Amino acid sequence: MKSYVTPTLVKRVSPTQTDITWNDGHAGSYPSWYLRENCPCATCVEEFTGQRKILKGSIPATLGRVDVQPVGNYALNFRWSDGHSTGIYTFEYLRKLCPCPQCLPEGLREPTELGRKPGSFEV
């Protein structure tokens, strides 16, 4: 019999951070930009190839979570401050995305501002 991973707690720490505790005791802290960058909807993933349409680093670190709603007993739907709201994140997918040091030893690199401001320079 297959065991299913389900969240026991989904907590909005801030508009830019969501903590999820799972039924096996594992917990992860998910930045909003990271979830949005990995949105599984057809707008964000090429339907036939599975290739991501959202470029890494293109979602600002300041992106916020506006709302989250359960989808049946298998997923969550997030609404983001950029207006996007079509992604259905299955519990299995969210667990695979867990960015904690145990699940993602290399860690996350927060997106930097795209492009430089006029008059800026690098040394």
**pTM (two decimals):** 0.86
Q: Which residues pair with 20 in a beta bridge?
A: 10, 28
Measured between alpha carbons, how far is 123 from 115 in angstroms, rounded to an integer? 16
Domain assignments of the chain as residue spans, ordered by start:
7-96
Q: Band of the pLDDT at 117, cuts 50, 70, 90?
A: very low
Considering the chain, what is the average pLDDT of its residues?
90
* 57, 112 Cβ separation under 8 angstroms: yes
**Residue 54 is encoded by which pair of tokens?**
């959202």
CA dist., res. 79 & res. 67, Å (int):
5
Residue 110's pLDDT is 85
* Per-residue model confidence (pLDDT) at position 26: 96
Which CATH number is associated with domain 7-96?
3.30.2020.30
